[in-house]
Amino acid sequence: MARSSALQRKGDMARSRRWVVDDKSPRDLAGVVAAMGCEPEAIAHGRVFIGRKRATDAARRMRGGEVVEVFLATAPESKPAAILLGRRGGMVAMLKPAGMPTVPDHRGSTGSLQAAVAELEGLRDPDAVHPSSRLDLEVSGVVVFALDSKARTLLREAREQGSYTRHYVAISQQAPAPAQGLIELPIGRAPDPRRRCVGGKDPAASTTHYRVAAKTDRGALLAVEPITGRTHQIRVHLAHLGAPLLGDALYGGPRTIVQASGAVTSMSRVALHAAWVRIGLGDGETWTVQAPVPGELESLWQSVGGSAADWEDALRRR
């Protein structure tokens, strides 16, 4: 019989078990999961993968050589909850806290923002609601979901017509030069599968507008508007300019700040927040949704010498 093994991925606290299917294995996915000693609910929760693809059909027939991986349920952590920011037509705007995935990842669907919206709407299937953009795990801010096909069409057309604006605030290790500009550099896959890079494999055109709202000798407060929507786009572009974001160790940003007093400030998130979204509704009207700047980012900016008054400029429209 194929062996099942427990493992821990590098940099990932979620433990998993793997099973290589052979001629002695159960014939369907549910049987394999049971043989691995995992609870059957793992399939419904989205924690079962065949190769790199999530597997949701318990009756799926298995083929020899396939690798099944089940991520084990972890004890729930005390994290900020998602907050409803507003509704308009078939759209719902949510505040995603840092640490919550926008859509299900290998840990399953139950802790994602998408699942929270589905539950809010009384829907059993998280895939019934569609995020118009995705925020990285360690990033916070506004995410707008479409609840029906009409809303999906409206959001798609707003993007195509340039009437969908996403405004972020960020704190970088230093100010990029020049103090304002348009970054037009393609982004592709990096050798490290967790990262993206300028150029890279299969690069796609990527454009980001940025502006330095304030700066100190230990950091800079930025207003950022991505024109395109590539994975890690803002983080990659700013790091390429030599201005990685605080807390963004993946792209060279520091995870700790040492104060003049010797006190150390640690960061458990990336200093990036989607502060507001403005959507053209096609009838001459717009819908603007704002998410307050998290207190930890306000405190972080103050810890590098910034002023509370600086946020007003960072949040203004260009």
By DSSP bridging, strand 140-146 and strand 207-216 are unpaired
Query: Looking up tokens 């998993």, which residue turns up?
Result: 16
The partner residues of 145 in beta bridges, in order of sequence, read: 92, 131
Cβ–Cβ under 8 Å, residues 218 and 227:
no
* Active site (annotated) includes residue 136: yes
* Residue 122 CB contacts under 8 Å (≥ 6 apart), including other chains: none
* From 136, 248, 310, 313, the catalytic residue: 136
Residues found in the chain: 318
DSSP summary character for residue 65: T
Q: Which of 205, 209, 207 is nearest to 178 (CA)?
A: 209
Cβ–Cβ under 8 Å, residues 35 and 25:
yes
Q: What is residue 294's three-state secondary structure?
A: coil
User: Could you list the active site residues?
Assistant: 136
